[in-house]
Structure 1
Amino acid sequence: MHWILLRGLTREQAHWGSFATRLRDAFPDDRFHTVDLPGTGVRYREDSPARVAGICKKVREQVRHVPGPLNILALSMGGMVALDWAQNAMEGEIQNLILINTSSGFSPPWQRMRPGAWPWILRLLGRRELFDRERDLLRLTSNREVPLTLAKQWYSIQRQRPVSSRNAIRQLTAAARYTPAQKRPLADALVLASRGDRIVHWRCSAALEARWQWTLKLHPDAGHDLPLDEPDWIIQQIRNWLPR
């Protein structure tokens, strides 16, 4: 089985850290493909579309060579791209869908971006020093202690493959505009969320569960970057769900 892994707003495949390796170790018979959204990672020189559908089209072009059916695991804005993909996929193209701390137009704006996150966001925008900005971003997205080595890694990623302000704004615009179609794309999907997420309220994930009767699992205290805070918990949830 081939898996597609999609990250969130302004983040790239290197931000998965050790999580992708843990997945490979947990499912040794499967193949995992970490794919960058346009405007990030190896594609940082590209212009990001300002709509999720346009981003999804670019992502699908990148993985045309990967044989299906596919499993997709996606975090945050990557989950919006994955959901758009699933709703427009050919029959049998996607076998399993796993969404982590994502949101959509099915939820109100104050849940999609929690009011308490706005002071952090404004502070980040005012940070001129790149290292301080990446460290503060980690402190916002993670509910665990942020090691200096990790902050340095994220700083190095941004130095090597910088996301332009233009692309960040276009991705943010795409995310804010996104509302899925009404149809349920799959009979079941695994929706994972963190009660401790300080950016996106876990009720955004609960809205998908309620609308389409999908499987929702909640972590009690991890942050928005659930793969960073609790990678083993995610893998256990996947193990429990896949044989359904």
Structure 2
Amino acid sequence: MHWILLRGLTREQSHWGEFPRLLADAFPEQHFHRVDLPGTGVHFNDPCPESIAAIRESVRHSVRHIPRPYSLLALSMGGMVALDWAQHALEGEIQNLVLINTSSGFSPPWHRMKPGAWPRIVRLLCRRELFDREADILRLSCNRPVSLQTMKHWYSIQRQRPVRRRTAWAQLKAAVAFRPLPDRPLTDALLLASEGDRIVHWKCSRVLEQRWQWTLKVHPSAGHDLPLDDPEWIIRQMKRWLPR
């Protein structure tokens, strides 16, 4: 099985840190592919579309060399792309769907982005000092202490493959406008949410659980960047859910 890993707003494949290696160790029969959204990572020079549907098609095009079917594991805005993909997939194209701290137009705006997060994120996107900006992003998205090494790593990523301001605003516009189709794309999906998320309310995942009778697991203390805060917890939930 080939897994496609999608990150969130202005983040790229290197921001996963050790998580892909931990996944590969936990599931040695599976293949995990970190894929960048347009305007980030290996595509940092490319323009970013202003809709989730167009971003989804760009991602599908970039993975056309990977054998189907796919399983999707996606965080935050990457989860919107993954959900939209599952709803527009060819028959049998998507086998498993794991969404982490994502949101959709099914939830109210004050849950999709908590009121206290809006001004901080706008200030971060406008901030010019790269190291301080990346350190503040980590402090906002993680609830566990972040090492100086991780801050330096994220700073290095932005120096090597800078995300343009126009990309950030295009992604924000796409995320704000995203509303899934009403029909359930898969019989089951695994929804992982963090009760301590200071950006997206965990109830955004509960809305999807209640609407489509999907499986929801809530971490009691982790932040928005659950793969950094507690990757082993994610792996435990996947091991329990995948044999369903």
TM-score (norm 1): 0.98
2:64 alignment counterpart = 64
Which residue does the alignment assign to 1:192? 192
Please tell me whether residue 208 in structure 1 is matched to residue 195 in structure 2.
Answer: no
CA drift of 1:65 comes to 1.3
Q: Which residue of 1 aligns with 2:95?
A: 95
- Cα distance in 1, alignment partners of residues 30 and 116 from structure 2: 39
User: What residue is the counterpart of 1:116 in the other structure?
Assistant: 116
**Match of 2:49, SS?**
coil
Residue aligning to 1:217 = 217
Corresponding residue number in structure 2 for 1:132: 132
Counterpart secondary structure, 2:71: strand
In structure 1, the residue corresponding to 2:110 is in which secondary structure?
Answer: helix
Distance 2:92 2:128 in 1: 47
Counterpart of 1:167 in structure 2: which amino acid? T
C-alpha distance in structure 2 between counterparts of 1:165 and 1:117, whole Å: 18
SS at 1:115 equivalent: coil
Question: Aligned pair 1:166/2:166, yes or no?
Answer: yes
Distance in structure 2 (CA, Å) of the matches to 1:94 and 1:217: 21
State the partner residue of 1:41: 41
Provide structure 2 residue ranges, at least 5 long, that are not aligned to the other structure: none
- For the residues of structure 2 that align with 1:239 and 1:125, how far apart are their CA atoms? 36
Alpha-carbon distance, 1:91 to partner? 1.1
Which residue number in structure 1 is paired with residue 77 of structure 2?
A: 77
For the residues of structure 1 that align with 2:123 and 2:56, how far apart are their CA atoms? Answer: 30
Shift of 1:126: 4.8
Partners of 1:3 and 1:105 lie apart in 2 by: 26
Stretch of structure 1 that moved more, 136-145 or 119-128: 119-128
Q: Following TM superposition, by how much is the alpha carbon of 1:122 offset from its aligned partner in structure 2, in angstroms? A: 3.9
The one-letter amino acid paired with 1:85 is W
Greater Cα offset, 5-14 or 117-126: 117-126
Partner-residue secondary structure (3-state), 1:218: strand
> What is the root-mean-square deviation in Å for CA atoms of aligned residues?
0.8
Q: Quick one: structure 1 residues 130 and 103, their matched pair in 2 at CA, closer, same or farther if it must change by over 3 Å?
A: same
CA distance in structure 2 between the aligned counterparts of 1:143 and 1:189, rounded to whole angstroms = 26
Contact residue 125 and residue 165 of structure 2 kept, 8 A: no
Shift of 1:127: 2.8
Equivalent AA in structure 2 for residue 49 of structure 1: P
**CA shift at 1:120, angstroms?**
2.0
Once the two structures are aligned, what percentage of the paired residues are identical? 69
- Cα distance change on mapping 1:49 and 1:125 into 2, 3 Å: closer
Q: Deviations over 1:37-91 (max 9, x none)?
A: 0000000000000000000000000111111111100000000000010000011
Letter in 2 for 1:107: S
Classify the secondary structure of the residue corresponding to 2:95: strand
- Deviation of 1:194 (Å): 0.1
CA contact (8 A) 2:8 2:75 kept: yes
Matches within 5 A, 1:11-22: 11-22=11-22
- Mapping 1:20-31, distance limit 5 Å: 20-31=20-31
Give the letter aligned to residue 62 of structure 1.
Answer: S
Aligned equivalent of 1:10: 10
Report the counterpart of residue 150 of structure 1 in structure 2: 150
SS where residue 144 of structure 1 aligns? Answer: coil
**2:3·2:70 contact (CA, 8 Å) conserved in 1?**
yes
The gaps in structure 1 that reach 5 residues or longer are none
1:55 aligns with 2:55: yes
Per-residue displacement from partner, 1:89-141 (whole Å, max 9, x unpaired)?
01111110000000000000000000121242244245331100000000000
Mapped pair 1:181 → 2:181? yes
